[in-house]
Amino acid sequence: MKRFFTSESVTEGHPDKLCDLISDSLLDAYIEKDKNSRVAIETIASKNKIFVTGEVTSKANLTDQQIEKIVRKTVQDIGYFGEQDIDYETCEIEIRIVSQSSDIALGVDKSLEEKEEGNIVSEGAGDQGLMFGYACSETPNYMPFAIYYAHKLAKRLSEARKNKEIKDIGPDGKTQVTVEYDDDRVIRIDTIVISTQHTDSKNIDALRKEIKEQVIDKVVPKEFLDEKTKYYINPTGRFVIAGPLGDSGLTGRKIIVDTYGGYARHGGGAFSGKDPTKVDRSGAYMARHIAKNIVANGYAKKCEIQISYAIGVAKPISILVDTYGTNTIPEDEIVDKILNKFDLTPRGIIDYLDLQRPIYTKTTNYGHFGKEELSWEKRIEL
């Protein structure tokens, strides 16, 4: 049976991703000085103003001046400056960061199990919630095909801007890929959509030609393209008003771009700006690690893992494995392998994946999964 599936990605200049990167840059700054920092930072960007808010408990004690310096450096590195809508030198920055709630800290500092049993020393989960991890055999990094190429196109679009292979384009951009399947097999790419910010003087026909040649042709293998593949490049014909001027930005609003492009379920929790005691982030990373290695070890062609937690409780409330009928061993045996191999308490995950390091700006853009340099992408025997 033929079917179509679509995923999107965005560049680091997208207003939401600008905010994600500021939040993760501040998280890294805190963890670099104090690995036990408790951080939950959100950023809002609109026109020429950035608002940084959230809760932090850390020995790092970053001053407002230090925070402002990090924010401006992040905006500059993305490429917003001069006469564009947000200027790293002149933008107004407001900072409202307070300490973590003592009520939340009660459950994180000492788990329910330790309080009741006295023999389990582990932090509790920083919140209730459910996390999903997914992997499949469609691509070399075990990600779904559509999001894999949407990310590659978005990343290449940014590279072409920074390297000046395409001139007069701005940091804000979006990509979208529609894949045609025959049952579970990818047979072709049906549609590619790319929109990029550009200067008022940029010729739209020249821009479309450059993106086709410098982005699409350099990323997408020809065997997935045919005479019926449709290309929509800056389809409105104008994308000058962009970034936080065209649309406000907010941390945590691109959760589907950050994960599996809609191909797998999502628990609802965002990642950026959160330290690893927040299971929204660390639990999702661990679920991806497990799902990837179930597929990589040949136990299934695709696999989705769900893990759920209660605030203040260290051990997961539930674990679910779904291989969509592609499993080569019974699913209950896969669950047993997971329980025998991994400590799924927050402390167990943090130690296993080595998460108390300033690694989080590496995760912000082009997906939190599929990047081989990250610890949760490591291949293991399971």
pLDDT at 100: 72
Contact (Cβ atoms closer than 8 angstroms) between residue 340 and residue 163 = no
DSSP 8-class letter at 153: H
Facing residues of 129 across strands?
309
Closest CA to 91 of 43, 56, 162, 26: 43
- Does the 15-100 domain belong in CATH 2.60.40.10? no
The CA-to-CA distance between both ends of the chain, in Å, stands at: 33
Query: What's the CATH fold of domain 129-138+257-377?
Result: GMP Synthetase; Chain A, domain 3 (3.30.300)
pLDDT of residue 246: 85
Cβ-proximal residues to 217 (8 Å cutoff; 6+ apart), any chain: none
What span, in angstroms and rounded, lies between the C-alpha atoms of 279 and 5?
29
Tell me which amino acid residue 30 is. Answer: Y
CA distance 278 to 349: 11
Nearest to 43 by CA among 247, 246, 245, 251: 251
Rounded CA separation 29/65 (Å): 13
Q: CA 171, 174, 176: angle at the middle one, nearest 5?
A: 160
Per-residue pLDDT of the chain (382 residues; tens, 9 = 90+): 899 999 999 999 999 999 999 999 999 999 999 999 999 999 999 989 999 999 999 999 899 999 999 999 999 999 987 665 688 999 999 999 998 766 655 556 655 455 555 555 567 787 889 999 999 999 999 999 999 999 999 999 999 999 999 999 999 999 999 999 999 999 999 999 999 999 999 999 999 999 999 999 999 999 999 999 999 999 999 999 888 888 899 999 999 999 999 999 999 999 999 999 999 999 999 999 999 999 999 999 999 999 999 988 999 999 999 999 999 999 999 999 999 999 999 999 999 999 999 999 999 999 999 999 999 999 999 9
How many residues are recorded in the chain? 382
The pLDDT value recorded for residue 112 is 44
Mention every residue, 6+ apart, whose C-beta is less than 8 A from residue 90.
48
Strands, sheet with 49-57, edge to edge from the N-terminal-most edge strand: 92-98, 49-57, 38-46, 249-250
* Cα gap 6→67, rounded to integer Å: 38
| Predicted pLDDT of residue 201 | 93
List CB contacts of 118: < 8 A, sequence separation 6 or more.
none
Q: Count Cα atoms within 13 angstroms, Cβ side, for 96.
A: 7
> Judging by DSSP bridges, how do beta strands 230-233 and 185-198 pair with one another?
parallel
Same fold? 2-10+145-242, 129-138+257-377: yes
Task: Report the 10 Å Cβ neighbour count for 371.
Answer: 15
| 332: CB partners within 8 A, 6+ apart | none
Report the C-alpha gap between 190 and 145 in whole angstroms.
12
CATH number of 2-10+145-242: 3.30.300.10
What backbone torsions phi and psi does residue 309 show, to the nearest 5 degrees?
Answer: -135, 160
**330 token code pair:** 């019974």
Tokens of 122: 């582990």
Could you give phi then psi for residue 96, rounded to 5 degrees? -135, 85
Can you give the residue ranges of every domain in the chain? 2-10+145-242, 15-100, 129-138+257-377
pTM recorded for the entire structure: 0.94
* CA-closest candidate to residue 90, choices 80, 78, 98, 100: 80
